[in-house]
C-alpha cells in the first residue's frame, strides 16, 4: 500500500462501514443512450485501471493490495419513467445520494460501482462511486474523460482509442516504499 492507502485502510479498521471516504460522481447524459456501450466503457475503464479492481487483505500482519482480474462491471439499470414527471429528478438525486452513502468492504470489494438511471427517453444519470483508497479527486477527472472517450468509441462500434497505461498505482506504491526505506 502507499502511505495514503495505509492511512485510509487504518481508518476503515477503526470505523468499518463508514462511507465518509466514498467519492461519488454523477454524470447527466442527454439524448439517446447506448446502454451496452456504457457498460463496455465502464468495464474497459476498470480493466485499464488496476486500482478500480483492487481490494485489501492482510498478509504477514500487514495490509496489502490484491489486484483482481478484469471482469465486466455490474451496471444496475433503474427506470424512473413510470413515476410522475415532477418526481423523477428528485428520485434520481435520492438514488445518487443513496449510492454515495453506501459503504464499501475493503476486503471483499468491489470498491467501484455504477448505476444508470433513466429519467426519460432523453435524460439519464450515470452514478459512479468508489472508495478514496482506490481513487482521488484528481483521478475523477481522468475517469470522467476516459468514460466519455470510451463510450463514444464503443457507440460507433470502434475499439478503445486509449493507449495502455505504462504505470499503475501499485507501481507508485512500491516505488514510494522503496524510496523511503533507503538511507
pLDDT at 43: 98
The Cα–Cα gap between 178 and 44 comes to: 31
What is the Cα Rg of the chain in Å? 18
C-alpha cell at 14: 477503526
C-alpha cell at 172: 507508485
C-alpha cell at 155: 457507440
Work out the angle between the directed axes of helices 35-48 and 137-155 (0-180°, nearest 10): 130
C-alpha cell at 167: 504505470
Distance set, CA 182 to CA 64, 175, 178, 179 (Å): 20, 11, 7, 6
pTM of the model: 0.91
> Tens digit of pLDDT for each residue in 119-160?
999 999 999 999 999 998 888 999 999 999 999 999 999 999
Please give the helix or strand (H or E) that residue 131 lies within, else none.
strand 123-131
pLDDT at 147: 96
pLDDT at 100: 96
pLDDT at 182: 65
Please give the helix or strand (H or E) that residue 129 lies within, else none.
strand 123-131
Parts of the chain with a pLDDT under 70? 182-183
pLDDT at 98: 96
Amino acid at each position: 500500500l502507499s502511505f495514503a492507502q495505509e492511512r485510509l485502510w487504518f481508518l476503515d479498521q477503526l470505523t468499518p462501514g463508514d462511507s465518509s471516504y466514498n467519492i461519488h460522481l454523477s454524470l447527466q447524459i442527454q439524448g439517446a443512450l447506448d446502454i451496452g456501450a456504457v457498460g463496455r466503457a465502464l468495464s474497459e475503464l476498470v480493466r485499464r485501471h488496476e486500482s478500480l479492481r483492487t481490494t485489501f487483505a492482510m498478509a504477514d500482519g500487514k495490509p496489502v493490495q490484491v489486484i483482481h482480474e478484469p471482469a465486466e462491471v455490474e451496471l444496475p439499470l433503474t427506470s424512473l419513467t413510470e413515476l410522475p414527471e415532477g418526481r423523477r429528478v428528485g428520485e434520481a438525486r435520492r438514488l445518487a445520494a443513496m449510492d454515495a452513502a453506501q459503504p464499501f468492504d475493503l476486503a471483499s470489494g468491489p470498491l467501484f460501482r455504477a448505476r444508470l438511471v433513466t429519467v426519460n427517453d432523453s435524460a439519464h444519470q450515470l452514478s459512479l462511486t468508489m472508495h478514496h483508497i482506490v481513487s482521488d479527486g484528481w483521478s475523477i477527472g481522468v475517469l470522467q474523460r476516459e468514460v466519455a472517450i470510451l463510450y463514444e468509441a464503443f457507440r460507433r462500434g470502434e475499439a478503445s482509442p486509449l493507449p495502455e497505461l505504462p504505470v499503475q498505482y501499485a507501481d507508485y506504491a512500491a516505488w514510494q516504499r522503496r524510496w523511503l526505506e533507503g538511507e
